[in-house]
Amino acid sequence: MPDQPADPRAAVLLRRRRLVDATALTPPVRRSAWQWLRRPLTIQAGLSALQADLIHRGLLLSVGLYRYCASLSAPALAGFGGALLDLLDAESGFDTEHTPLFRGFPETVPGNTETFYVNRVFARLLQEPDQPCVLCGDTTSVHAVSPCAHLVCRTCWDGSDFSACPLCLRRIDPKDPFLKPSADEEQPAHIRSERLRLLSLATADSVRQTVEALLARRAPLSASDRADLQLLLDGAVPAWLPEDIPVRETRALVIAHFLADDPDLIDRADTATDVLRLVYALMDADPGLRTPPARRKSLPRATRRLVLGRLDRLPIETLVEDMFRHERAWKRVGENLHPFEFATRFPVAALAFAILRRTDLDLGTAAGRAVAGEASRHPLVRVEDGRLVMSTFGSRLEGALVQGRPEQALDLLRQRPGELVRRLVQLARALPPEQHPALVDALLTAVSDVSPTVITAALGQVRTPPGDLRLFFPRGGTARIWTRVDEREPLPATLAAELSGVLVGEMLRRATELPRWRRVFLDEELSRLAAPGSERSASSSLRRMTRGSAVPIPQDELLRLFLHWVEPRGRRIDLDLSVAVFDEEWAFVGLCDYTRLRFDQDALVHSGDLTSAPGPDGSTEFVDLDLRAVRRVGGRYVLPVVFSYNDVPFDELERGFVGVLRQPSGLFDPAAVEERFDLAGPAKILLPFGVDLHTKELRWYDVNLGAAGYGHNIAKNGGHVGLMAATLEEVHGSGDRVSLWEICCWHAAARADEIVVRCADGSVVGYRRSPGEELAEYARRVTARLEPDRTCDEDAAAGSDFVAVLAGDITPRRGAEVYALHPRLLDAASVSLIDAPHLLATLAPDTRARAGLRAL
């Protein structure tokens, strides 16, 4: 009897929090469980074997998890270990056999790509059956390979090195006689201590805590986060839901999940757009409304009545305005809801659809009379040419801005605090200087009700001066970007300072209302990480960093890029892993791809181009980067790119991912996996990250570039790739955008009596707020690393209530809150490991308290 698959929620906890759900992973004892161990062993021997396999993957068992394993029987331990290793290998990509074109990579990669190409072309075009080899003249060594049937000379092409047909580079039958065993032996693993990370034992509340953390996010979730949330909700109950779920897309997913059990949850959808998100979620579509439902799913009649009833209870003006924001989507949904069938019961909803559809008013029907009667109650609704129309807030606002009446636009935006903050920079440029004080006053009033994510985005815009290029991330199914020349005038310095002061002051005020800390330990390297924002277009990845963040890398380190994909049956998909190199002025220096397998001898080495990836094994390509050698030839920016050569979108892959290994031991070292991106969506070109050899940083881009036609490669798209990377570096490398360091400093200055900072040069200094020192000035002094009050040592982390570091190489106080991008050996059972979105979510406004004050 086959073993049952592990609970998918266990995979989520393991990937997100390095928590092991032991109950889910420990199967009933069966004889097949012993297959993980080569022979029955004692418990101690089994634990040693499990520890060795985990160390090979860069992991260790925590004390609590080790004790749990020691309490199991030998068969149960075998089953537990096998299930745990399977989950870890699927996460890193180690569950796949990665075989490059040249199995002796990097040593056996040809030094002259042109000669290799010419020999392939000659052999493919001129070789005839039963004829001597056109390259060497051997009469007995030419045979066809399966299934491509190309005639391959066994003398000219080494079957112990090639893993595919050397002529067409497509995968061949593994049993084909051309393929011979490789003489290469697997290199022993040398695990560096800084790679090790602790696995902790999950508790009964781990799933609930993870759900609550996701629901508390103040920015839209990525597709992978939404998928994780839906898996975790399968074991949840409505009692777990907080009173407020701030992100509306997340709220729609939750309501859709529990709506059948608790229909009253629909009242949490408090706008028409929220209702539309809910309908999309019920139809298994994207609640972010970026893409329409793949298929039209009919909703039950009871659900349709529930949805129309919720729309009917909304104010007509905001209802219609929200509907026009997503006009096409509402028209499509209206065909499913049939609003005029229920017009007499839900006249407000029917009126809104009549205005949206510009329906002819027919008083001869009961629906027409119900709509007309409802329209007569609303002065903003009028009849034009037999159809109902209404003037909305959005049309009045845009009209004021287009017609050069910014003062009127400001008056309108006072009613919408969030919209005012989003349009802050636009208003600041449009208003005359004498109206600037009015803008500051309006911001002072509005900012207390606005999401911290909106505030940090506005702060970055206010203090970022116009540059050479502007960067745009339009809404869509993938993170595509566009650029244009920035022709805007800079904001007046005085106005920018006042607006920034209001925004930062509000964040500090909110932080003062949170529980106090005695001491805080911060790492200055957090300034490299961008503040958390919207993640809806982010790729599924191992590290959870915001686009634009950077991590330091040693200059002499070897990086190995990897690309793996599996094509669907009957469809050939040719992906290419390529690297482009640019100098300080973004002039093209060179490349490494299928047209040039080696760049400057060993500076960049490609493992060989594979042009197909049949299942189940698929194909893998590697590129080795010697950063010191690249710099010697004048390179500064190194840009890896994934191309779909034959123009097939990534979402048609059975499986696909790209990543980077740092100083790997062996061909594919799971402990060295620094990052891994899943290939998904309709994109055909992915720019995952870039390496700056001068600043010694690896910056996460995670953007897709537009593509059309066939034959995508660096030669065709190199200019576009360089332009996009240059714009991303200009925008994110300037230091004007809000960083995670600033958010931590806001918390620390407002909540702690003592702040300890580990500086970039390794020194440790301390800050204390002087008597009479303004909070804003104290926060500015800490954020800018000015005038420390004393020197300290890293032992200060042991007495800190909050620790925020890039790498968990410290020993914090037991029970402390800790943010660490690389937690390493920090035990989730002894400290509270938090993520970056949590730091921003705690600065959210108390909307319930403000609602109560308004009611009074």
Count the neighbouring beta carbons within 10 Å of the beta carbon of residue 804.
26
What span, in angstroms and rounded, lies between the C-alpha atoms of 285 and 342?
25
Distance CA 624, CA 443 (A): 51
The per-residue pLDDT for 189 is 54
Band (pLDDT 50/70/90 cuts) for residue 855 is very low
Identity of the highest mean pLDDT range in 35-44, 458-467, 642-651: 642-651
End-to-end CA distance of the chain: 66
Angle at 358 between CA 356 and CA 360, to 5 degrees: 140
Residue 629 near residue 559 (C-beta atoms within 8 A): no
Q: Residue 39: which pLDDT band, with cuts at 50, 70 and 90? A: very low
Per-residue pLDDT, averaged over 610-614, amounts to: 94
* Residue 249 pLDDT exceeds 60: yes
What is the per-residue pLDDT for 539?
Answer: 62
- What is the rounded CA–CA span in Å between residue 604 and residue 111? 11
Give the dihedral of Cα atoms 490, 495, 497, 500; nearest 10 deg: -90
CA distance 378 to 159: 81
List residues bridging with 563 in a β-sheet.
621, 658
Q: Which residues contact 477 (CB under 8 A, 6 or more apart)?
A: 290, 291, 681, 682
Domain 517-529+738-841: give its CATH code.
Answer: 3.40.50
Contacts by 155-164, CB closer than 8 A, 24 or more apart: 156/119, 156/123, 158/108, 160/103, 161/102, 161/103, 161/104, 161/108, 162/101, 162/102, 162/103, 163/99, 163/100, 163/101, 163/102, 163/103, 163/610, 164/101, 164/610, 164/612, 164/619
Chain length of the chain: 856
Strands 637-644 and 685-692, bridge-based pairing: antiparallel
For 366-381, write each residue's pLDDT tens digit: 888 888 888 888 887 8
Give yes or no for residue 679 having a pLDDT over 50: yes
How far apart CA 711 and CA 59 sit, in angstroms, is 41
Describe the crossing of helices 740-751 and 493-512 by its angle, rounded to 10 degrees. Answer: 60
Per-residue pLDDT reduced to its tens digit, 293-318: 876 678 899 999 999 999 999 998 88
Distances (CA, A) of 551 to 194, 266, 498, 525, 704: 15, 43, 32, 8, 21
Structure tokens at 194: 């800084």
Nearest CA to 277 out of 262, 263, 292 is that of 292
Residue 482 clears pLDDT 80, i.e. is over it: no
The pLDDT, as a whole number, for residue 828 is: 85
Average pLDDT (754-769) is: 91
Residue 254 neighbours by CB distance under 10 Å: 25
What pLDDT score was predicted for residue 193?
58
Q: Give yes or no for residue 847 having a pLDDT over 80.
A: no
Round to whole Å and give the CA distance between 97 and 400. 62
What is the distance between the alpha carbons of residues 550 and 545, in angstroms, rounded to a whole number?
9
Position 190 scores a pLDDT of 56
Tell whether domain 550-733 is in CATH 2.60.60.30: yes
Pairwise CA distance, residues 832 & 827, whole Å: 9
Cβ neighbors of 461 (< 8 A, separation 6 or more) are 424, 425
Cα 397 from chain centroid?
Answer: 34
In 3D space, the residue among 827, 826, 828, 544 whose CA is nearest the CA of residue 675 turns out to be 544
Residue 247's φ and ψ, nearest 5 degrees, are: -85, 125
3-state secondary structure (DSSP) of residue 496: helix
What pLDDT is attached to residue 31?
46
Question: Residue 355 and residue 382: Cα distance in Å, rounded?
Answer: 10
207-233: pLDDT as tens digits: 999 999 899 888 788 878 888 999 999
CA-to-CA separations, 792 to 755, 757, 764, 801, in angstroms, rounded: 10, 9, 5, 16
- Please write the tens of the pLDDT for every residue from 795-839: 888 889 999 999 888 888 889 999 998 888 888 888 999 988 899
Instruction: Report CA 299 to chain centroid distance, whole Å.
Output: 31
Query: Could you give phi then psi for residue 687, rounded to 5 degrees?
Result: -110, 90
* CA–CA dist 510, 842 (Å, integer): 9
Domain ranges (residues) in the chain:
8-98+190-201, 206-391, 395-505, 517-529+738-841, 550-733
Q: Which amino acid is at 473?
A: F
pLDDT of residue 29: 58
Local confidence band at 336 (pLDDT 50, 70, 90 cut-offs):
confident
Is the CB of residue 605 less than 8 Å from the CB of residue 672? no
3-state secondary structure labels for all residues of 110-174:
CCCHHHHHHHHHHHHHHCCCCCCCCCCCCCCCEEECCCCCCEEECCCCCCCCECECCCCCCECCC
Q: Give SS3 for 241.
A: coil
Question: How many CB atoms within 10 Å of residue 126?
Answer: 12
- What lies within 8 Å, CB to CB, of 349 at 6+ separation is 308, 309, 311, 312, 319, 339, 342
What would you report as the CA-atom Rg of the chain, rounded to the nearest whole angstrom?
A: 30
Please tell me the distance from the alpha carbon of residue 546 to that of residue 700, in angstroms, as a whole number: 8
| 36: confidence class by pLDDT, cuts 50, 70, 90 | very low
pLDDT band at 6 (very low <50, low <70, confident <90, very high): low
Residue-level pLDDT at 34 = 46
What pLDDT is stored for residue 509 in this prediction? 96
Q: What pLDDT is attached to residue 441?
A: 95
Mean pLDDT of the chain: 87
The amino acid sitting at 616 is P
Closest CA to 735 of 786, 784, 806: 784
Please give the share of the chain, as a percent, with pLDDT higher than 70: 92
How many percent of the chain have pLDDT more than 90?
Answer: 47
The secondary structure of 428-478, three-state, reads: HHHCCHHHHHHHHHHHHHHHHHCCHHHHHHHHHHHHCCCCCEEEECCCCCC
Q: How confident is the model at residue 1 (pLDDT cuts 50, 70, 90)?
A: very low
Tell me the HSE value of 768 on the side-chain side, using a 13 A CA sphere: 7
Distance CA 765, CA 127 (A): 73
B/e letters for 213-226, b = 16+ CB within 10 Å, e = fewer, are: bbbbbbbbbbbbbb
